[in-house]
Amino acid sequence: MPRRRISDGARRRAPESRIPADPSLVAAAAQTACLLELAAPKPGNVRKGHDLPGLTYADLFLSAIAIGPAFRRHAGGPVGRLILEAVRATRRQVGTNTNLGIVLLLAPLARAAADAGPAPFATRLRRVLRRLTVRDARDAYRAIRLAEPGGLGRVSAQDVNRPPTVTLRRCMALAARRDAIAREYATGFSTTLSCSLPSLIRLRSRRVPLRRAIAQVFLELLAERPDTLIARRHGAAAARAVRRDARQVLSAGGFLSARGRTMATALDRRLRSAAPPLNPGATADLTTATLFLWLLRSSSPK
């Protein structure tokens, strides 16, 4: 089967829909997206029966449940406050960073979904991103320090260990070249809206089983760009090598063919057996954001 990457077809935004503003639906979609991502057989990531050192299935399951109340109460408020409250709720349940990247991605998406009005979702999202404030940045920085993600290092401009002096979107723009989550903020979530969400919609329209479709979208994202969590923790060369491996699996059909699934299993073993393991966590976070929007789109009135 020829390799199919997200970039091979026309890049287009997913069909617009009236994503509901009900905060209970937004919260449920956030929790469910995390649980669906956790259930899919994505190479190198945690799933049931496949823990990683310092990161377990139970940790991620509890974290998915923990963020629901924060999204229900704060989705319609400041993005930074939602990020901080969701991370606080997570830390009350688990003692490690399980979902910082997910929360950072879902918070502006949830805010846009909670905005009532006739404008298409992408328009509402751009408005949310434009209106991010310095206070949002300060709350997000507090959340990052609370989550204690590994491998951040130090930067000269707007370092997370110092109070930010510019808006959250500007902070993200400064980090966009080295971080996939920051790149989504800087580009209006171009990867999620124009690449991975249309891919998931297409796969489901072909009746690909959901867990397999999720894993395929993950693989497409991993083949598209080097995972920035791997790059931060293991170096750019390691991230490029994992990307090449993902492309080879995708060339064999990925999760849509028996040979591709066999190769994906082998890739999973290689990533897990590395010392320390190579976890494409940023790609998993993007997959969760994709699922969040797909769930909201599916629950919207037709």
Span 275-287, pLDDT tens digits: 999 999 999 999 9
6-299: CATH superfamily: Triphosphoribosyl-dephospho-CoA protein (1.10.4200.10)
pLDDT score for 1: 41
Distance CA 168, CA 161 (A): 15
Q: At what angle do helices 23-39 and 210-224 cross, to 10 degrees?
A: 80
Q: Among residues 213, 189, 168, which one has the least CA distance to residue 110? A: 189
**CA 161/CA 255 separation, integer angstroms:** 41
DSSP for 128-183? Answer: HHHT--HHHHHHHHHHHHHH--TT----SSS-TTS---S-HHHHHHHHTTT-HHHH
Can you give the pLDDT at residue 5?
A: 53
pLDDT, position 162 = 86
Instruction: Encode pLDDT of 143-193 as tens digits.
Output: 999 998 765 656 656 677 789 999 999 999 999 999 999 999 999 999 999
* Intervals of the chain under pLDDT 70: 1-21, 150-158, 299-302
pLDDT at site 216: 98
Percentages of the chain per state (helix, strand, coil), in multiples of 5: 65, 0, 35
Per-residue pLDDT at 23:
87
Domain ranges of the chain: 6-299
Whether omega before 164 lies within 30 degrees of 0, making that bond cis, reads: no
Q: Which residues pair with 52 in a beta bridge?
A: 55
